[in-house]
Chain A
């Protein structure tokens, strides 16, 4: 999706279980949901 939009050099740098221990039960765990950080660049 990022590349389809014309961005390049996509890089995912971090992932973690950010919903673990949240006050309310979430559907996140059932889908193996992880928080992530990523970056990309517009061609110059």
Chain B
């Protein structure tokens, strides 16, 4: 039997508020300098092939703040349906949109208004009518059951206290046989209960 870890004792709404503030700033001022890399330099660190970025509006690229490369984990076929959890300014959603083509669909979900606006503008600039962005939470996706062939996410699950709920939502929205392709983080040292309650440490 697999036992899920306990959910950290942190105020979820306070955490979400602080995360939204941080990523609103990443949307507005991506070159300001954060405790993480952003944009094209980060894409290079994460192994994004230059071909993935071709034709993607710079506004989507500059606010990349992920921690991995979902596209290295499997082919996303033409005509597929993809959900991008924590889509940010839309880079990964738009890359997925190029890969699935106009016969496919992409739904990018994010909770930060400034990122959603940036992503929606980028999709319009790219002419990708089959890519849409919806406001919502990773723990409660605004996506119907069994819709997706692939769920991607990049640097988001680590910001959610109830990670099992996030993976359960991924399971719910996937078709049978569907895949998750996720970039995120792991820690190699134990995190104390006190540290788990410190919202500043959740943000970095």
- The contact string, 1 if C-beta is below 8 Å from chain A, for chain B 30-70, is 00011111000010011100000000000000000001111
Interface hits, A3-38 → B, CB 8 Å: 3-7, 13-16, 18-19, 21-28, 30-38
Q: Is the CB of B27 closer than 8 A to any CB of chain A?
A: no
The number of inter-chain residue pairs (CB within 8 angstroms) is 130
- Chain A residue contacts of B128, Cβ below 8 A: none
Q: For this complex, into which size category does the number of interface residues on chain A fall?
A: 35 or more
C-alpha gap A4/B36 in the complex (Å): 30
Q: How far is the CA of A23 from the CA of B178 in the complex (A)?
A: 38
Whether A23 touches B33, Cβ cut-off 8 Å, given contacts A5-B171, A37-B69, is yes
Contact with A along B162-204 (1 / 0, CB 8 A): 0110011011001111111111111111010000000001001
Question: Are A42 and B185 interface neighbours, CB within 8 A?
Answer: no
Query: Is A33's CB under 8 angstroms from B186's CB?
Result: yes
| B45:A16 contact, CB within 8 angstroms | yes
Q: Which of B2-10, B102-110, B111-119 contacts A (4 or more CB under 8 A)?
A: B2-10
Write the chain A residue with the least CB distance to B1: A4
Residues of B within 8 A of A18 (CB): 36-37, 42, 45-46, 67-68, 185
Interface residues of B (CB under 8 A from A): 2-5, 33-37, 42, 45-47, 67-70, 72-74, 155, 163-164, 167-168, 170-171, 174-189, 191, 201, 204
A/B interface sample: 20 pairs, CB < 8 A:
A1-B4, A1-B163, A4-B164, A4-B167, A5-B170, A7-B167, A16-B45, A19-B37, A22-B34, A22-B37, A23-B34, A32-B189, A34-B185, A37-B72, A38-B184, A39-B179, A39-B182, A40-B179, A41-B180, A44-B176
User: 9 extra interchain contacts, Cβ-Cβ under 8 A, other than A7-B167, A39-B180?
Assistant: A2-B167, A4-B3, A19-B35, A19-B37, A22-B37, A24-B33, A36-B67, A36-B68, A38-B184
